[in-house]
Structure 1
Amino acid sequence: MKKHIFLGFCSLAFCTLISAQSKADKFKKIKELGGIEEYLYLPNGMNILLLQDNASPVATVQIVYRVGSKNEVLGNTGSTHLLEHLMFKGTPTFNKNNGNTITDVLQNTGAQLNATTWYDRTNYFETLPSDKIELALQIEADRMRNSLLTKEDKEAEMTVVRNEFERGENDPNSILNQEIWSSAYIAHPYHHATIGWKSDIEKAPIEVLRNFYNTYYWPDNATLTIIGDFKKENVFNLVDKYFGGITKAPNAMPQPYTEEPIQYGPRKIIIKKTGELGVVNKAYKIPGALNEDLAALKILGEIIGSGPSAILNTTFVDSGLGIYTYANVSQFKEVGLFMIGVGFPTTSNHEDIDSKIAEAVARIKKDGVTTDEINRVTAKISAETLLARDGSGVISSELNEAIAAGDWTIYITGVDKLKKVTPADVLRVAQKYLVEDQSTTGYFIPKQSGTQSQGEPQANNFIPSTGPFYYRHPEGRHVHEETSSGASLQQKNTMADAAVNEIAIEKSAPAYKREKVVGIDVVSVKTSAKDFVTVAASISLGNFVNETKNPMIPSLTASMLSKGTTLNDKFKFSEKLEKLGVYLNVNANTTYIYIDFKCLKKDLDQVIALLAEEIRNPLFDQKEFENLKQQYTGNIQQGLNDPGQRGSIALTQAIYPKGNPNYSLSVEEDLTNIKNATLDDVKAFHKKYFGPASMHLVIVGDTEGANLNNSLKKSFKNWNGGVSETLKFEETAKVPSKTEVITIAEKPSAELYIGQYTGLKRADADYIPFYIANYTLGAGFAGRLMQTVRDSEGLTYSISSSMGGNIMTGGYWMVNASFNPSLFQKGLDATMVQLNKWVKEGITAEELENKKTNLIGSFKVGLSTTNGVAGTILSFIERGLEPSYIEQYPKDIQKVTLKEVNDAITKYVQLDKMIIIKSGSLDKDGNPIQ
């Protein structure tokens, strides 16, 4: 008997071994570079890229299809993007009728997920706990060939995509750039925008989309990437299990072959539409991403458009002619554009700006660039590239674009190519490609709307999006992990322990070290990050908001810090940072000053010294101050024509009395405050509030051996000042319900805001129960509002609910959505149906458990970034909590009961006290303007 059992076991082991060997034989290794392994799955030709990092229990699964809007023809433009939307509608296994939609199933694991479409590719991705990799692979394999693609889903999703199109039409830069591309390329399929022409979006038959799907969605047209915590053998087994039954494409996949004809002279387009700033964008034709000239073009773009010493900045912004400038080098597979842009006040003339751009281009074509300029840019990009590799989501995003370009290895080799560029190379590409006869110039001429009584944009300097705008544009996607400003970092984390995608717990509990260093409260957290650290800091302004007559002073002061120091002018100072690849972000609102940066560990001492120089010894030059005021004025004026900004400000003005920290000033008030601000005001603010008295600093990453404390002691010795006081305010709010319409002409997408005062502070016992309630209603794709008003009824691209306000004060709750003006009332009615159901019936026990799992699972997902950890811990200690609360938070979520959640809804939301704001191309009665 024993011998028989033993032989049976051996036979089973032998069979298992043979099976494992046969599965491994199906995966042919192609190459390995930079830790990334490429395999070919022989049964169906699918490419696989693996990058293993088992330090944190998180992984990103991504599948990239080599099909984009360039594969479309006249009549089906936008098909790739509309199909991408429909791929979330389900399969026979995962669908709404079964109660297990793709978004529900993934989000209930705590996953961050989305998809994006661009000219050369479409990608689907999920960053999730690594023990859920199998689920992600099952879903991606299933929808590769089994997506339902029903006519009913298409009809509902068409209006969703159309609203996405309309939202883009609200933005002057988006409209202008779309027109430039369609004029620059008249034959090549990059001619039409990825989102497509509106009539094609509205009329494309479902049969067209099914044919597109059956033509291109096959494994031999896809690259599967898995990055993070996994075992290769397990991945091979799962790939074989779920993709093994899918064959190669039955037919050859058609590829575009149209070539752009020769352009015989410059082209020019003019757009006249409601706006506040003039814009001139000039575009020159360049080759595709794999062309040998792209490295030199990229360096040229940086020298022309990036940083204080950039040619465009010194030509336009420093002289007061422009509000913002940029240069952007597209990196598409086949052809592209080298884009130069200038936004300017209406006091300037479009022809004059255009002429000065041409003069700047002519100078660089004549004089070229220096070796020092190239070295500075190369060092900057090299450091930025290393620092950006912070989390599996970011790496997958960058690999996505390299795959689309035709060679994933450029993700690894890109910096090496830059290092080989010479001044002669840059001069050659400037002369070869920046040719007037191969250019397309676009003018945006604003039809100014005049003054308005409401509206306040953010005071931070406006910079247009010069990177890729993906459709669908991935809110929450890690397109660029580095936070753009200290203010935005804090905005992400004011409810950080509730928004748990920003929170991380290491596989082994992180070691927190907290101590006072030269008066600064310092928290150090060692994680699995290698060779770099992220720093986030804040300084409280105490009761400044109650004492000031000019709330613009903090933001103006923070912006002036980058304009030079008493030791280095702004050019020399910025060059020192650029060589390190570091952005020192210092921003402020009326309650806090925020500081954040990311740097290589070896450079920390230098960066701390530069930070100390910037915040301790600012130059405060009068000319720079007047120039800055002009930039602020131009940026703020743009809010007059932004339905979202106007609606948001109107909501807070309807909820709070003037003087409350959550009340927003009107545009006119902001403009007056900017005009009245003096350099003496800025100096006085700096002297009083910049200091260690209430400063917290969190450093996260490879902290061992970083010697932060020594750097702080050396650079901040004898630094004093700041305030240490608790914000005091009168807890009052306006309670009557009201409806207000803000009319803005020529906006094809209008914004809805519904909200009311709750009085909830972050420390209140009801906060987490109400947060879970709100999360169920309107957070993400799995929220009720998205699943009904968007997915079922197809009325909007985006609808959400959230909790707002300073976390130390009585906050408010709101719903925000965008609708075509003709669908606005229908969208409002559909939203109110869901709000009524939510308030009167509450949420279900099943929803509660799903959301708990979702929120707690998101802890693991947050492991992928250091700035998520830094910002979260900073928000904890600002509230008086210990960093270790990061371990307590899941328990606080888990212990919330269904009764607590539903009681919180009825306690804080009154259906008869709703404030409704309608903002956009609507008349005084809320009807669409014809």
Structure 2
Amino acid sequence: MRFTAAAVIIAAAWGGLYGSAQAQATAQATAPATAPATATAPSVAVVSIGSAPQRITQVEGITEYRLANGLRVLLAPDASKPTTTVNITYLVGSRHENYGETGMAHLLEHMVFKGTPARGNIMQELGKRGMNFNGTTFYDRTNYFETFPANEDNLTWALEMEADRMVNSLIARKDLDTEFSVVRNEMESGENNPAQSLWQRMASTAFDWHNYGKSTIGARTDVENVKIENLQVFYRHYYQPDNAVLLVAGKFDATTTLAQIQRIYGAIPKPTRALSVTYTQDPVQDGPREVTVSRVGDTPLAGVLYHTAAGSHPDAAAISALSEILAGTPNGRLHKSLVQGKKAVSISPWNFELAETGYVIFMSELSKDQKLTDVRKVMLDSLENIQKTPITDIELRRAKASLLSEIDKTLNDPEKLAVQLSESMANGDWRLFFLSRDRIEALTLQDVQRVAQNYFKESNRTYGQFVPTKTPDRITPPAAVNVAKLVENYQGRAALNEGENFDTTPANIEKRTLRSSLTGGMKLALIPKKTRGETVSGTLNLRLGDEKTLFGQAITSSLVTDLLLRGTTQMKRADIAAKLDELKTQLSIAGGGQNVTVRFDTLRKNLPQILDLVRDALRNPAFPAAELDMVVKENLAQIDNQRNEPQGLGSQAIAQAMDVYRKGDVRATLSFDDMTARLKAVKLEEIKRFHAQFYGAEHAEFALVGDFDAKAVQTQLQTLFGNWKSKARYERLSSLPRNAKPGETTLQAPDKANAFYLAALPVALKDDMPDYVPLVLANTVLGGGVKSRLFDRLRQKDGISYGAGSGLSVSAFEAVGMLKLYAIYAPNNLDKLKTGVREELAQWVQDGVTEEELKDAKKSLQEDRKISRAQDASLAAGLASQLNTGRTMAFTQQVDAAIEKASLAEVNAALRKYIDPAKFLHVYAGDYAGASKKAAEKQ
């Protein structure tokens, strides 16, 4: 509702801390325990209970309280989730920054992870505890959240940590010296993204004075030259309880938690300073504007921006609906005229609902042979002439279904709800989330037609250059919204039913799992249980063909999966999309080669219809010629985009260097040119022939977790798939061993501000071998978690990388594995990167892992595994994988036990047995020629 998916990705890229316990890495560092505090508030260890929290309101299971110091507290208990999320939102973002201080809110977001006098580096502490966490900054707010397995110790630590860094963060000069270059690396990573670059330029062109026209990441010169004193003042002014909203969601005891919050946060005094209200507003735009961004690349983009109303205004609901109606896929008007009309590859809406006047962008992606002039004409005609082709009832109903489906999914996910409520808080009040839903439900054709005609007009457009006009046709600006009065008596509706308190230990999961097989051969693993909102998640894997029959079919097999949801003999693509929205279901089908994977998240009442739909998509695809043409163009555009992207170039180089299969083998790596040639040559008859020959369910696995009737599901699955057999023989393709390819490869990526590093070393290891767990733990120390050596060296110490780490992958069938290292960095820091990686690898192998590192790695790894088992979708995928390997949760329990028992000697022995730093293949992709030229010019 706040953004489309594309815009969420872009916003996160500009404002996120990039900290996730599963995927990102930080490092072990010495805590600055003796550094002086810069905040004036007392330590949160001082307890001053004061008056009891005041209960403000309750809406749909969420209760708001207010402490005497002004802190707003939201409690959203959900006993069915085995995890707890703590989210704190500060009502400060880039909108509040002054001249010369752009990027300060985002830079401060990074700095508060550096520690307080009472605790060391907070990012490392979060990683040590295996918590999923992040910090993000946007126009109107900054938020931080942690998700962890529910227990009192974790919750108390998280609450105390957030209270401590609220007023006691060090914000020290020595930390700023390294962190500003990390932020600069984040800037450069964003500048590599064509859509992100175009968005930034369009926003700065559309706004004359308002800070919404400035990127949240800030100006490079501001970030590099910011005074530590200014940053400290900014911190002390805004990071206070009266400017914060604390939310606890998931599994916890509300009474105990509220008492804890009062004990911890009640000790912080209410500040005496007054918060000023921002008042800068742009005048009504008085003519069309235009901007052009010229950079190296292969993917043309066209965008149109219109100023809209604030997120709290009633018009915002209509803008959300119009975004779906005009640019949704596959039912949007622009999708039909541009994508289906073969003028563009894709179209997406980016709807920014903000505290003050917002805006919406419609963005089109083109292939190299499509014309921007054609797209411009179609986009402007479609957007600014809606009075000639009014919105229809079916268009509005489909848009509502899509938006409301997404809201329902958010309500069923405590972590997602916590983050989404941050956006509503930034707009004035958390209850706006529910009020917006109600407004969407109440939308009429008259509403959306009026809003479209008011905002989507030439004088309010930013597409290109400014053009004077004699007869300005300006919008009618909406009146300011009194949010407090708006939500004063809002009650909402009944809270969702809670699920059961499900024990996620391997033993209990195995006890609750029902395993069986259909008469045709499909294997089943079912876990029926009560869930919040009666949700259910499923995974279905199909296994196809053998080495001989699949030879030369890599591209064909992938295209078949791409087309399965684009039309069946019973339903067209648009009908399928509309049906999924109506059933509030997320469904995907992906794969290639031997494997096809179906994943879905739905509701108990809709499960039978979804299973019928999956059966129709798998067994009765229509393979429309027009859709094949679109899929081919989309794939070609993606390939063209990767040809000049450092990450795409590096990944392709590693894959080809490590390839051991003959050309044509379905397991072989295809070059960009080979993929392009094969895509252009594919025929519809090949697609149909592949499906008819290979698809069947006798070698399939199906896992379902959530709220459902197991007996009814088994009966339905037998009817849908029991007799479905493939015409082609299936035999699993084994993975062949790979030899090390030591050396270095440097690839040029012109005009790219960010560079990408990737290294690989084959390891002859299988996941049931004695050395597997010890090597996994050793990798966790190197770069497999947020507390790791690579991340500490390249980000915390050297300050040259926004993200760095390592990953170990192995097979359950053959002793064929791979250790990979990665990092992003500026091209001019190539020598520093090489030195850092070389020294860390040498020390890792030579000196080994320490006892403290091993202890932290064990805890982090076990917490990750617990969180994975707590997510129904992840659990379903894992059960399906077990059906394929012939394992049960007993194997999971054995791995857990092996992690706990692993000794330091075993870990270091495995490390030295498998890892030789001299045998890595290192690939560096970036604009090194450009960096050398700039360095020479400075001299």
Q: Distance in 1 between matches of 2:627 and 2:909?
A: 54
Conserved? CA contact 2:536–2:602, under 8 Å? yes
Which residue of the partner structure matches residue 517 of structure 2? 516
Q: Secondary structure at the match of 2:292?
A: strand
Give yes or no for contact 1:288–1:331 (8 Å, CA) kept in 2: yes
Amino acid aligned to 1:61: V
Residue-by-residue CA offset, 1:190-223 (whole Å, 9 max, x unaligned):
1111100111111111111111101100000000
Hey, what's the Cα distance between the residues in 2 that align with 1:430 and 1:556?
37
Q: Does 1:586 align with 2:589?
A: yes
- The aligned runs of 1:348-427 (5 Å cut-off) are 348-427=370-449
Comparing 643-652 and 149-158, the one that deviates more: 643-652
Aligned residue for 1:360, secondary structure, equals helix
* Selected match of 1:334 from 333, 356, 359: 356
- Comparing 279-288 with 683-692, which one deviates more in the overlay? 683-692
Q: Of residues 680, 684, 688 in structure 1, which corresponds to 2:685? A: 680
Residue 807 of structure 1 and its aligned partner are, at CA, apart by 5.7
Q: Which residue number in structure 2 is paired with residue 483 of structure 1?
A: none
SS at match of 1:280: strand
Q: Which deviations, in whole Å up to 9, do the C-alpha atoms of 1:54-95 show, x marking residues without a partner?
A: 234421111110000111122110001111101000001111
Find out whether 1:71 has 2:71 as its counterpart.
no
Encode CA deviations 1:769-811: one digit per residue, 9 max, x unaligned: 2111111110232111112221122111010101247664512
Match of 1:6 in 2: none
Q: Distance in 2 between matches of 1:192 and 1:588?
A: 40
1:912 aligns with 2:893: no
Task: Name the CA distance, whole Å, in 2 between partners of 1:910 and 1:235.
Answer: 50
Distance 1:583 1:857, change over 3 A: closer
| Paired amino acid for 2:73 | I
SS in 1 for 2:295: strand
Aligned residue in 2 for 1:187: 209
1:51 matched residue in structure 2? 76
Indicate the residue corresponding to 1:104 in structure 2. 124
Alpha-carbon spacing, 1:714–1:728, altered in 2? closer, same or farther (3 Å): closer
Mapped contact 2:506–2:893 kept (Cα < 8 A): no
Aligned residue for 2:308, secondary structure, equals strand
Match of 1:693 among 690, 698, 722: 698
Q: Distance in 2 between matches of 1:507 and 1:256?
A: 56
Q: 1:97-136 residue pairs with structure 2 within 5 A?
A: 101-131=121-151, 132-136=154-158
SS, match of residue 699 in structure 1: strand
- Deviation, structure 1 residue 182: 0.9
RMSD: 2.4
- Change in CA separation of 1:886 and 1:382 when aligned onto 2, cut-off 3 Å: farther
1:29 corresponds to: 55
Write the deviation string for residues 638-665 of structure 1: whole angstroms up to 9, x where unpaired.
1101101110121122233344877532
How far, CA to CA, are the matches of 1:871 and 1:211 in structure 2?
48
Give 3-state SS (helix, strand or coil) of 1:92's partner: coil
> Structure 1: how far apart are the matches of 2:548 and 2:554?
7
Which position in structure 2 is the counterpart of 1:892?
Answer: 898
Which residue, 539, 543, 552 being the options, matches 2:542? Answer: 539
Contact 1:381-1:581 within 8 A present in 2 as well: no
Q: Secondary structure at the match of 1:335?
A: coil
Letter in 1 for 2:104: S
Structure 1: how far apart are the matches of 2:270 and 2:875?
43
Aligned-residue offset at 1:557: 0.4
8 A Cα contact 2:304 2:463, kept in partner: yes
Shift of 1:573: 2.9
Q: Shift in Å at residue 925 of structure 1?
A: 12
The equivalent residue for 2:829 is: 823
Cα distance, 1:821–1:928 mapped onto 2, change above 3 Å? farther
Matched, 1:41 2:67: yes
- In 2, the alpha carbon distance for the partners of 1:384 and 1:439 equals 29
Shift of 1:508: 6.2
**Would you say 1:224 and 2:259 are equivalent positions?**
no
1:258-297 equivalences under 5 Å are 258-297=280-319
Partner SS for 2:799: coil
**Which segment is superposed worse, 780-789 or 169-178?**
780-789
CA deviations over 1:129-157 (Å, ceiling 9, x no partner): 22210000111011011101111100100
Residue 775 (structure 1) aligned with residue 780 (structure 2): yes
For 1:819 and 1:198, how far apart are their aligned partners in 2?
Answer: 15
SS at match of 2:696: coil
Instruction: Give, in whole Å, the separation in 2 of the partners of 1:641 and 1:861.
Output: 37
Which 5+ residue runs of structure 1 have no aligned equivalent? Answer: 1-21, 96-100, 444-502
Give unpaired runs (5+ residues) of structure 2.
1-47, 466-502
User: Offset at 1:167?
Assistant: 0.2
Contact kept, 8 Å, 1:688 with 1:722, in 2: the verdict is yes
Is 1:649 the equivalent of 2:649? Answer: no
Taking structure 1 as reference, are residues 87 and 243 closer, same or farther at Cα in structure 2, changes over 3 Å only? Answer: same
Return the offset for 1:589. Answer: 2.5
Name the structure 1 match of 2:114.
Answer: 89
Check if 1:836 corresponds to 2:837: no
TM-score by length of 1: 0.87
For the residues of structure 1 that align with 2:196 and 2:146, how far apart are their CA atoms? 28
Percent sequence identity is 29
Per-residue deviation at 1:417? 1.5
TM-score in terms of structure 2 length? 0.86
2:117 partner letter: P
Give how far 1:518 is off.
Answer: 5.1
Distance 2:347 2:721 in 1: 35
Compute the displacement of 1:442 (Å): 5.7
Query: 1:750-899 residue pairs with structure 2 within 5 A?
Result: 750-804=755-809, 808=813, 810-862=816-868, 864-899=870-905
Contact 2:92 / 2:142 at 8 angstroms: preserved in 1? Answer: yes
Label 1:842 to 1:318 Cα distance change in 2 as closer, same or farther (>3 A): same
Q: Is the 8 A contact 1:562 1:614 kept in 2?
A: yes
Contact 1:505 1:886 in 2 (8 A): no
Q: Distance in 2 between matches of 1:324 and 1:761?
A: 41
What code does the residue aligned with 1:436 have?
A: E
Identify if the C-alpha distance between structure 1 residues 625 and 434 changes in structure 2 by more than 3 Å, giving closer, same or farther. same
Counterpart AA for 1:176? L
Give per-residue Cα distances to partners, 1:596-651, cap 9 Å, x unaligned. 11111101111111111111111122333233212211221111011011101211
- Answer whether contact 1:299 1:426 (CA < 8 A) is retained: yes
User: 2:243 & 2:620 partners in 1: Cα distance?
Assistant: 57
Instruction: Tell me the equivalent position of 1:495.
Output: none
Residues 1:853 and 1:214: Cα distance change in structure 2 (over 3 Å): same
CA distance in 2, matches of 1:316, 1:923: 38
CA drift of 1:875 comes to 2.5
**More displaced stretch, 377-386 vs 395-404:** 377-386
Q: 1:868 to 1:184 in 2, by over 3 A?
A: same
Judged with a 3 Å threshold, the aligned counterparts in structure 2 of structure 1 residues 812 and 858 are, in CA distance, closer, same or farther, namely closer
Q: 2:458 is matched with which residue?
A: 436
Is 1:61–1:136's contact at 8 Å kept on the other side of the alignment? Answer: yes
Whole-Å Cα distance in 2 between the matches of residues 835 and 243 of structure 1?
A: 43
Give the secondary structure class of the aligned counterpart of 2:787: coil
Q: Distance in 2 between matches of 1:671 and 1:705?
A: 45
Q: Distance in 1 between matches of 2:811 and 2:462?
A: 46
Q: 1:128–1:860: 8 Å Cα contact kept in structure 2?
A: no
Contact 2:526 2:710 in 1 (8 A): no
Q: Cα offset for 1:908?
A: 1.6
The structure-2 alpha-carbon separation of the partners of 1:545 and 1:214, relative to structure 1 and needing over 3 Å to count, comes to: farther
Q: How many residues align?
A: 844
Aligned equivalents of 1:207, 1:119: Cα separation in 2: 23
> Which position in structure 2 is the counterpart of 1:142?
164
8 Å CA contact 2:567–2:576 kept in 1: the answer is: yes
